[in-house]
Structure 1
């Protein structure tokens, strides 16, 4: 809990000051927020800085392949009902970015921190979290991310015996396998549209049986745990069986699932579901995602989809045909350079939408759409794609660096 005692040693204070100075210089040079470079410098000067900054906070960590940034934001809004919150709201989710975010606030009581899946165990060791939210695990950045079963294994080993309350999605077998090593787990039925990463049992390798919404391994008996919280249509069911309405400005089923998990986390800190869910309504857009922007006299809705699971969720929330759709795919370092994941996405869901394709890997995407029998045009850039799109609001779906490019172009 936070008190008035200052946990920072002179060395730690120097590290924080130096980190902020470097971040400010980076911003002044127009190189982004500077949070990552600032955090790196600070950690070089004091390798224990993250632990020191976290020791006066009640920390929640949020990790997943999809939905981390949004869920972090929803939890932060909910916990503000109980006290000041510090969070890495812009998604810098590796140790340097997290250190930078925590260094920016001295009076916070709660820390709500998004963590890259590969760094979860280490950040959990450093920050001694009170709560960890685990949402989902699916294929992402194929050329460099560990295979999903290995990530689940890393989580399982890293969280074994953790004192934290784990809030975990019981509909994702990989998450259940990862969380099952922890003594204190709250299970949330948050749903799982994308099932292609969990057909084999993470415990024994046997074939998963999936009757209805249930799942179990016929060989070793590993099975879906009974949830105490659940997403049910437009409501969250709490452990007492009460149904609380979800009112969000963010679209889609996936965000209702994020809200259900966030309500379960808020309850760990004594914030009741009604209060938590009302506060989540404040969130309109998250780092540009879901924003509707004006560009060339048109309304563009910006949607981020980084991997097959994310594209599937995104297709479910776009306006029906004949709403025009612009798709943009890059394959730079932050995206992963392997685009073979495009073949795992069911692009037949776009039938009836006029489609324009842009981005560094527009030709890879064009081949994929050709095979899926979709009608599309390849365009040079966003400006041309907007000009070629028929009237009405345009849905723009992009992967990670393509999304950042779009935001720069539309001045968002």
Structure 2
């Protein structure tokens, strides 16, 4: 901190004070307000706090908070790591994360997709991690093809080492703009936003999966040196050595996140034998995948913010006899437009007891009715637990899938469980 110019030091101190006040008054964790106040004092603070550090930026539509946590954990092999672990992924949150750990040479920052070019320029990041792109919050974000182009252009202006998912055509096209890249075959369950070639607009040929190519212009999937083997719960490294994952975090999406984290750690010189044990220790991330026992019922919290995220959440649900709560809000952090609900296939929930909650539960109820999924309306998770336990005493588990603010509200009811 002492190496910063006086104005930047003052900005960082004032920002920390604002963040502490926010936490003390129960208004939040202070990640955003601290950065906002600091920027008022020194508009160039992000660039100044980034100097002398080796920074990795992590961006995607889904999974960036989890992957940031995984990478930060792996890089602790090198010493202290500054990171925005609470998910404040815009410049205000980055400033708070860096200011809170002024002596950490390594930093891993989750970055909102829209802000990646700006943050990349300000931080001069050494590594950029790209995982997936799909439609999300269309009332505030640009079309994802335009977003991918901005990523590609920004990467071409830097010497950043890109670690990217070769199986997502939009991500691959953006990553191909970089001067150096490590490609990971991490999978792509949701393909509805990437049937057309991002280079020429032609229809992509996708056979056999995960291969893809454009018959029109010849663009094709880059050759991956790291890959996920979901059937055998393992990751294969560039030397073709297989590493059994045995992750505490569930599902194919988290296997993909782990593979990308291992590839990123390897770019820092950390071998898989050292990074993997750190990844296996993580059981939840900012409340995601956390289980809370209430009134004898284990309630598991799953976050899903868009069609791709809901598809992944459905894949990790407990057996059909376990009820599920779906909760949807439409506040500013969620996006006001809930038309994306019609892109989700809810028919997979047939035969399961389903409850709907949240500010937009009527929208959700209509969508379920269209897919012939019976549902019940509820106000609180505790009400559902009481009802399920009274009617089916043998039920000991309950899954909850919620979008962002609905998830945070439910999490707050349980004391912001981690």
Q: Name the structure 1 match of 2:6.
A: 10
Give the Cα–Cα distance (whole angstroms) in 1 for the partners of residues 204 and 284 of structure 2. 37
Instruction: Give 1:220-299 correspondences, 5 Å limit.
Output: 220-233=217-230, 234-299=233-298
1:61 shift after superposition = 0.4
Give the Cα–Cα distance (whole angstroms) in 2 for the partners of residues 16 and 358 of structure 1. 41
Q: Which of residues 178, 192, 196 is equivalent to 1:196?
A: 192
Larger mean CA deviation between 48-57 and 195-204 belongs to 48-57
Is the 1:358–1:385 Cα contact (8 Å) retained in structure 2? no
Instruction: Give 1:96-245 correspondences, 5 Å limit.
Output: 96-213=92-209, 214-233=211-230, 234-245=233-244
TM-score, reference length from structure 2: 0.96
Is the 1:7–1:52 Cα contact (8 Å) retained in structure 2? no
Instruction: Give 1:45-124 correspondences, 5 Å limit.
Output: 45-124=41-120
TM-score, reference length from structure 1: 0.97
Give the Cα–Cα distance (whole angstroms) in 2 for the partners of residues 387 and 151 of structure 1. 45
Q: Name the structure 2 match of 1:399.
A: 403
Structure 1 unaligned regions, length at least 5? none
Aligned to 2:310, what secondary structure does the other structure show?
A: helix
Give the Cα–Cα distance (whole angstroms) in 1 for the partners of residues 412 and 80 of structure 2. 31
Give the Cα–Cα distance (whole angstroms) in 2 for the partners of residues 366 and 395 of structure 1. 18
Q: Name the structure 2 match of 1:380.
A: 379
1:382 shift after superposition = 2.2
Q: Which of residues 28, 32, 50 is equivalent to 2:28?
A: 32
Give the Cα–Cα distance (whole angstroms) in 1 for the partners of residues 10 and 84 of structure 2. 21
Q: Deviations over 1:314-367 (max 9, x none)?
A: 110111111100000001100001111001111111122100000000010000
Q: Name the structure 1 match of 2:37.
A: 41
Q: Deviations over 1:348-389 (max 9, x none)?
A: 111221000000000100000001111210112323222233
Aligned to 1:188, what secondary structure does the other structure show?
A: strand
Give the Cα–Cα distance (whole angstroms) in 1 for the partners of residues 134 and 324 of structure 2. 25
Structure 2 unaligned regions, length at least 5? none
RMSD: 1.1
1:274 shift after superposition = 1.6
Is the 1:247–1:278 Cα contact (8 Å) retained in structure 2? no
Q: Deviations over 1:232-276 (max 9, x none)?
A: 121111111111111211111100000000000000111001211
Aligned to 2:62, what secondary structure does the other structure show?
A: coil
Is the 2:296–2:396 Cα contact (8 Å) retained in structure 1? no
Is the 1:295–1:410 Cα contact (8 Å) retained in structure 2? no
Give the Cα–Cα distance (whole angstroms) in 1 for the partners of residues 198 and 385 of structure 2. 45
Give the Cα–Cα distance (whole angstroms) in 2 for the partners of residues 200 and 387 of structure 1. 48
Give the Cα–Cα distance (whole angstroms) in 1 for the partners of residues 37 and 336 of structure 2. 28
Give the Cα–Cα distance (whole angstroms) in 1 for the partners of residues 175 and 158 of structure 2. 10
Aligned to 2:159, what secondary structure does the other structure show?
A: coil
Q: Name the structure 2 match of 1:334.
A: 333
Q: Deviations over 1:130-174 (max 9, x none)?
A: 111000000111211111111101111111132110000000000
Give the Cα–Cα distance (whole angstroms) in 2 for the partners of residues 320 and 225 of structure 1. 37
1:74 shift after superposition = 0.3
Q: Deviations over 1:285-339 (max 9, x none)?
A: 1000000012233210000000000000111011111110000000110000111
Is the 2:234–2:243 Cα contact (8 Å) retained in structure 1? yes
1:6 shift after superposition = 4.3
